[in-house]
């Protein structure tokens, strides 16, 4: 579906008028319209790709093609991981698409455990797709529904601006340990996507941030560069990533430190741009 | 030592809590939250005027304004009397250059000055995250907090050009026969010991330091502990607190008020065989020692006492006396008929002329962490000790203890060895300065 940039901007102006209120900083709500609109396009593109890739992924699962499904698992997820701050706004879908075994009382055996990680468990641990055919259907219908809802959503600017920090908080709290993709150990793909998603927001806001605090913008850029450079060391020949176990302890600590720093710094972004 | 900084901070800290109504900014913010939230927030303020007691009223402490100077030849928290709550946190250092390492030391110095002396922490812009966690309120009380920074052997690798400047006896903690060391609870580049009257003060300080050093430190492990207080005045001399085995721990500790003794036992002296920068520092040994308390509680009293070498109720030595302060005379018990030769206190300190060289200053806390997979209590001793010579001190003592009968009831699972940096002399000085200057 094509959304005119103009319509998005109008919608964004309306939202900003309601939520930003009296702006204390030097950034006017109107200045946020363009970056929020551009971010909506970025999310729309990732949602479109998520649906397309999930269609292929679930088709492989249903066809019992374990090797192909394994190959598609991590790249398919990246589309979701890039836009997680917005995707998570729909908690029913987020839980259905991306919950982990330990979100459920009976862990892997819990009948409510579905989504990507249930299929991951089937592919890497059960080594069979016969238990997850229904799960695959449900996953596809859930991502289609997600795309629909994201398209209809008027993006709250504070969620967009705050999204960069949200991604870093999630990596810092529950991903850096390698617990997200515990069966496939494809965590580095998720890290890359989370960083890309966060950096996209920072990139779009950069002109505004520079006006407020140039040193902050430069420091944040440098920290992003550091995490991308670190992950780059773990690129595999086919353009993917090595498994999480290959991540050197020193690099894991460095990543953790940079993620903490980004989380700490990006937590100031909303306030800096005068958002509640 | 005199510290003008201390007084200034003190005035700030003693200033009464601002009782004024909420600021304009604050009200504007609340306004945007909508009417319901505002009513909800207004209620407690109205109730404040009534003197009704609530079960949730904060417990009162007369000690929150206790302030330990943070400047001096030595760091505080070593010979400072041990308060009720302690914590050791171990970190990896992420600094990539010597300049960043210096920034880390300077940042720690500044945070320690603020946290230990107390004072107001203001948040002028409610749109930004607050400067601190706020868990102690807007005016941070000192609460006898001390923060003691020490360095692990791993910091003296190639990263910062410190390899040639490692204290002579600093080494990675080695496994003793009864240890079951968990790598996730061992070693680290840098340790910080927090001691205060309440655990919340330690937690506040730890969170402050983490918040202020995200690109320089990453937390490796931490262990909190406490010691049970005794009545404020019971007409008796001071008593050692009890450990989780029910025995007094610290009875034969050297007198920390005796400066000459501390210079001999605890503080590395100038002109020793240690690097010159290390003068007035000390070696810190930390051990997380799990106690099998269920089993211990099922052990006959006389066996418990024989294992420790003391009377459980009083702490007196087994060869006589009424209190823990009496000194056992092993020369009259060479065969160990009164105090078994393999009892804990006799092995730890045989009280021979030779064992004088092995004295250490203990500063332990009891810890309690939850439940093991087997459904037993995971609790024990956060053992901390300080000494001028790590090898003659903790390592020699622990080697004598290896194989002691107490081992059936204890299992060391973590900890590490660190070198406690010399003190911060004045407001221009900073932690680690002598080390970085010596190695420049």
**CB distance B261 to B255 below 8 Å:** yes
Task: Report CB contact under 8 Å: B127, A274.
Answer: yes
| B28 chain-A contacts, CB cut-off 8 A | 22
- CB-nearest to A21 from B32, B128, B211 is B32
Task: Report CB contact under 8 Å: B215, A261.
Answer: yes
Q: Return the bridge partners of B353, or none.
A: none
Q: What is the mean pLDDT of chain B?
A: 90
Q: Which of B129, B218, B220 to mutate to test the interface with A (most CBs of A within 10 A)?
A: B218
User: What backbone torsions phi and psi does residue A8 show, to the nearest 5 degrees?
Assistant: -65, -40
Share of chain B above pLDDT 90, in %: 82
CB proximity list for B153: less than 8 A, separation 6 or greater: B166, B170, B171, B172, B187, B417
Rounded alpha-carbon distances, angstroms, from residue B199 to B87, B194, B228, B382: 8, 9, 13, 14
| A272 chain-B contacts, CB cut-off 8 A | 128
**CB distance A116 to A186 below 8 Å:** no
CB proximity list for B398: less than 8 A, separation 6 or greater: B176
Rounded alpha-carbon distances, angstroms, from residue B428 to B75, B110, B114: 15, 10, 14
Determine the distance in angstroms separating the CA of B28 from the nearest CA of chain A, rounded to an integer. 9
- At B49, is the pLDDT very low, low, confident or very high (cuts 50, 70, 90)? low
Give me the DSSP letters along A62-124. Answer: HTT-HHHHHHHHHHHHHHHHHTHHHHTTSHHHHHHHH--GGGSTTGGG-TT--HHHHHHHIII
Q: Which of B30, B124, B214 to mutate to test the interface with A (most CBs of A within 10 A)?
A: B214
CA distance A257 to A170: 14
Rounded alpha-carbon distances, angstroms, from residue B42 to B35, B46, B134, B136: 10, 7, 20, 21
Inter-chain contacts counted by CB atoms under 8 A, chains A and B: 40
- CB-nearest to B127 from A253, A256, A271 is A271
A275 inside 8 A of chain B by CB: yes
Q: Which two tokens stand for residue A73?
A: 């698992």
- pLDDT < 50 regions, chain A: 1-3, 13-24
Is residue B50 scored above 70 in pLDDT?
no
DSSP-based three-state secondary structure for A8? helix
DSSP-based three-state secondary structure for A213? coil
Q: Which of A253, A259, A271, A274 to mutate to test the interface with B (most CBs of B within 10 A)?
A: A253
pLDDT attached to residue B25: 43
Q: What is the DSSP pairing of strand B365-371 with strand B410-420?
A: unpaired
pLDDT attached to residue B320: 85
Please choose, from the candidates B5, B17, B13, B229, the residue with its C-alpha nearest in 3D space to the C-alpha of residue B142. B13
- CB-nearest to B129 from A24, A256, A268 is A268
Is residue B17 scored above 90 in pLDDT?
no
Q: What is the mean pLDDT of residues B84-98?
A: 97
- CB-nearest to B128 from A254, A256, A268 is A268
Q: What is the DSSP pairing of strand B146-152 with strand B190-196?
A: antiparallel
**CB distance A156 to A19 below 8 Å:** yes
| B127 chain-A contacts, CB cut-off 8 A | 24-25, 270-271, 274-276
Task: Report CB contact under 8 Å: B127, A275.
Answer: yes
The residue assigned the tokens 């005119």 is: A4
| A24 chain-B contacts, CB cut-off 8 A | 125, 127
- At B252, is the pLDDT very low, low, confident or very high (cuts 50, 70, 90)? confident
H or E stretch at A47: helix A29-62
Query: What ipTM is given for this predicted complex?
Result: 0.81
pLDDT digits 0-9 by tens, B257-272: 999 999 999 999 999 9
Work out the widest C-alpha separation in chain A, in whole angstroms: 58
User: What backbone torsions phi and psi does residue A273 show, to the nearest 5 degrees?
Assistant: -95, 15
pLDDT attached to residue A183: 97
CA distance B387 to B281: 9
Task: Report CB contact under 8 Å: B29, A276.
Answer: yes
A17 inside 8 A of chain B by CB: no
Task: Report CB contact under 8 Å: B127, A257.
Answer: no
Q: What is the DSSP pairing of strand B217-226 with strand B85-93?
A: antiparallel
Strand runs labelled E in chain A: none
The residue assigned the tokens 């890290």 is: A191
pLDDT attached to residue A140: 98
| A264 chain-B contacts, CB cut-off 8 A | 211, 214
pLDDT attached to residue B321: 83
Task: Report CB contact under 8 Å: B125, A271.
Answer: yes
Q: Which of A19, A257, A262, A264 to mutate to test the interface with B (most CBs of B within 10 A)?
A: A257
Q: What is the CA radius of gyration of chain A?
A: 19
Query: What count of other Cβ atoms lies within 10 Å of the Cβ of residue A180?
Result: 26
pLDDT attached to residue B237: 79
Is residue B429 scored above 60 in pLDDT?
yes
- CB-nearest to B94 from A24, A257, A271 is A257
Share of chain B above pLDDT 70, in %: 88
- At B250, is the pLDDT very low, low, confident or very high (cuts 50, 70, 90)? confident
CA distance B277 to A191: 43
Looking at residue A155, the DSSP 8-state letter turns out to be: P
Determine the distance in angstroms separating the CA of A90 from the nearest CA of chain B, rounded to an integer. 22
Q: Which of B30, B127, B209 to mutate to test the interface with A (most CBs of A within 10 A)?
A: B127
Q: What is the 3-state secondary structure (H, E, C) of chain B?
A: CCCHHHHHHHHHHHCCCCCCCCCHHHHHHHHHHCHHHHHHHHHHHHHCCCCCCCCCCCCCCCCCCCCCCCCCCCCCCCCCCCCCEEEEEEEEECCCCHHHHHHHHHHHHHHHHHHHHCEECCCCCCCCCCCCCCCCCCEECCCCCEEEEEEEHHHHCCCCCCHHHCCCCCCCCCCCCCCCCCHHHECCCEEEEEEECCHHHHHHHHHHHHHHCCCCEEEEEEEEEECCCCCCCCCCCCCCCECCCCCECCCCCCCCCCHHHHHHHCCCCCCCCCCHHHCCCEEEEEEEEEECHHHHHCCCHHHHHHHHCECCCCCCECCCCCCCCCCCCHHHCCCCCCCCCCCHHHHHCCCCCHHHHHCCEECCEEEEEEECCCCCEEEEEEEEEEECCCHHHHHHHHHHHCCCHHHHHEEEEEEEEEEECCCCCCCCCCCCHHHHHHCC
Enumerate residues 67 to 96 of chain A having a beta carbon within 8 A of any beta carbon in chain B: none
The residue assigned the tokens 């937390």 is: B219
Task: Report CB contact under 8 Å: A257, B217.
Answer: yes
pLDDT attached to residue B204: 98
In chain A the first and final C-alpha atoms are separated, in Å, by 31
- For B34, the closest chain A residue by CA position comes to A19
CA distance B68 to B80: 8
The residue assigned the tokens 């417990």 is: B59
pLDDT attached to residue B48: 52
CA distance B289 to B167: 26
pLDDT attached to residue B231: 84
B190 inside 8 A of chain A by CB: no
Please choose, from the candidates B102, B117, B143, B128, the residue with its C-alpha nearest in 3D space to the C-alpha of residue B211. B128
- For B214, the closest chain A residue by CA position comes to A261
pTM of the model as a whole: 0.85
Task: Report CB contact under 8 Å: B215, A263.
Answer: no
- For B126, the closest chain A residue by CA position comes to A271
User: What backbone torsions phi and psi does residue B310 show, to the nearest 5 degrees?
Assistant: -140, 160
Is residue B18 scored above 70 in pLDDT?
no
A218 inside 8 A of chain B by CB: no
| A275 chain-B contacts, CB cut-off 8 A | 127
pLDDT digits 0-9 by tens, B172-217: 999 999 999 999 999 999 999 999 999 999 999 999 999 999 999 9
Determine the distance in angstroms separating the CA of B210 from the nearest CA of chain A, rounded to an integer. 9
Query: What count of other Cβ atoms lies within 10 Å of the Cβ of residue B52?
Result: 7
**CB distance A241 to A186 below 8 Å:** yes
- CB-nearest to B32 from A257, A261, A276 is A276
pLDDT attached to residue A11: 54
Q: Which of A264, A267, A273, A275 to mutate to test the interface with B (most CBs of B within 10 A)?
A: A264
| Region of residue B427 (left: phi > 0; alpha: psi -120 to 50; beta: else) | alpha
What length is written for chain B? 440
pLDDT attached to residue B414: 98
What length is written for chain A? 276
**CB distance B91 to B190 below 8 Å:** yes
B131 inside 8 A of chain A by CB: no
pLDDT digits 0-9 by tens, B60-81: 999 999 999 999 999 999 999 9
More confident residue, A26 or B384: B384
């Amino acid at each position: 579906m094509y959304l005119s940039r103009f319509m998005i901007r109008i919608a964004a102006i309306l939202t900003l008028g309601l939520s930003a209120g009296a702006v204390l900083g030097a950034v006017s709500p109107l200045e946020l319209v363009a970056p929020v609109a551009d971010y909506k396009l970025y999310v729309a593109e990732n949602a479109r790709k998520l649906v397309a890739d999930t269609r292929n992924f679930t088709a492989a699962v249903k066809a019992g093609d374990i090797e192909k499904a394994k190959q598609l698992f991590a790249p398919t997820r990246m589309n979701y991981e890039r836009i997680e701050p917005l995707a998570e706004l729909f908690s029913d879908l987020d839980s259905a698409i991306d919950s982990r075994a330990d979100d459920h009382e009976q862990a892997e055996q819990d009948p409510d455990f579905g989504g990507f990680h249930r299929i991951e468990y089937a592919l890497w641990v059960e080594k069979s797709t016969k238990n997850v055919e229904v799960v695959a259907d449900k996953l596809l219908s859930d991502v289609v529904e997600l795309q629909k809802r994201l398209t209809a959503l008027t993006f709250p600017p504070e969620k967009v601006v705050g999204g960069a920090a949200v991604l870093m908080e999630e990596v810092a709290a529950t991903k850096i340990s390698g617990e997200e993709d515990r069966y496939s150990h494809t965590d580095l793909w998720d890290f890359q996507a989370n960083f890309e998603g966060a950096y996209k927001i920072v990139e779009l806001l950069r002109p505004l941030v520079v006006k407020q605090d140039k040193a902050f913008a430069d420091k944040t850029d440098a920290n992003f560069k550091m995490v991308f450079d670190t992950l780059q060391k773990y690129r595999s020949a086919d353009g993917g990533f090595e498994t999480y176990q290959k991540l050197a302890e020193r690099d894991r600590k460095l990543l953790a430190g940079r993620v903490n720093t980004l989380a700490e710094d990006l937590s100031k972004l909303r306030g800096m741009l005068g958002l509640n | 030592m005199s510290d003008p900084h201390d007084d200034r901070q003190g005035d700030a800290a003693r200033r009464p809590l601002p009782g004024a109504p909420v600021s304009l900014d604050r009200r504007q913010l609340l306004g945007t939250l909508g009417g319901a939230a505002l009513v909800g927030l207004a209620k407690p303020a109205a109730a404040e005027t009534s003197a009704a007691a609530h079960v949730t009223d904060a417990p009162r402490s007369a000690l929150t304004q206790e302030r330990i100077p943070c400047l001096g030849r030595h760091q505080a928290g070593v010979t400072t009397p041990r308060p009720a709550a302690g914590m050791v946190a171990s970190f990896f250092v992420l600094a990539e250059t010597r300049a960043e390492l210096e920034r880390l030391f300077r940042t720690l110095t500044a945070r320690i000055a603020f946290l230990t002396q107390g004072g107001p922490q203001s948040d002028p812009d409610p749109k930004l995250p607050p400067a601190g966690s706020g868990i102690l309120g807007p005016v941070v009380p000192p609460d006898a907090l001390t923060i003691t920074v020490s360095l692990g052997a791993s910091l003296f690798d190639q990263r910062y050009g410190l390899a040639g400047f490692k204290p002579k006896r600093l080494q990675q903690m080695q496994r003793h026969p009864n240890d079951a060391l968990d790598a996730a609870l061992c070693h680290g580049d840098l340790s910080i010991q927090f001691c205060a009257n309440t655990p919340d003060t330690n937690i506040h300080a730890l969170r402050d330091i983490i918040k202020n050093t995200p690109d320089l430190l990453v937390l490796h492990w931490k262990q909190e502990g406490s010691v049970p207080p005794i009545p404020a005045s019971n007409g008796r001399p001071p008593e050692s607190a009890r450990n989780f085995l029910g025995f007094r721990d610290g009875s034969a500790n050297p007198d920390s008020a005796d400066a000459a003794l501390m210079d001999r036992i605890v503080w590395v002296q100038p002109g020793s065989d240690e690097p010159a920068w290390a003068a007035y520092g000390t070696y810190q040994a930390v051990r997380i020692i799990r106690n099998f308390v269920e089993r211990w509680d099922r052990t006959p009293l006389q066996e418990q006492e024989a294992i420790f070498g003391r009377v459980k109720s009083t702490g007196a030595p087994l060869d006589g006396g009424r209190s823990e302060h009496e000194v056992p005379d092993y020369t009259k018990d060479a065969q160990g008929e009164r105090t078994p030769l393999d009892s804990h206190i006799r092995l730890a300190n045989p009280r021979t002329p030779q064992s004088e060289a092995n004295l250490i200053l203990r500063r332990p806390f009891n810890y309690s962490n939850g439940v093991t997979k087997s459904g037993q209590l995971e609790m024990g001793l956060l053992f901390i000790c300080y000494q001028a010579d790590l090898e003659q001190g903790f390592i020699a003592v622990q080697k004598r203890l290896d194989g002691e009968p107490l081992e059936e009831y204890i299992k060391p699972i973590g900890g590490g060895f660190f070198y406690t940096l010399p003190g911060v002399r004045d407001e221009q000085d900073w932690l680690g300065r002598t080390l970085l200057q010596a190695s420049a």
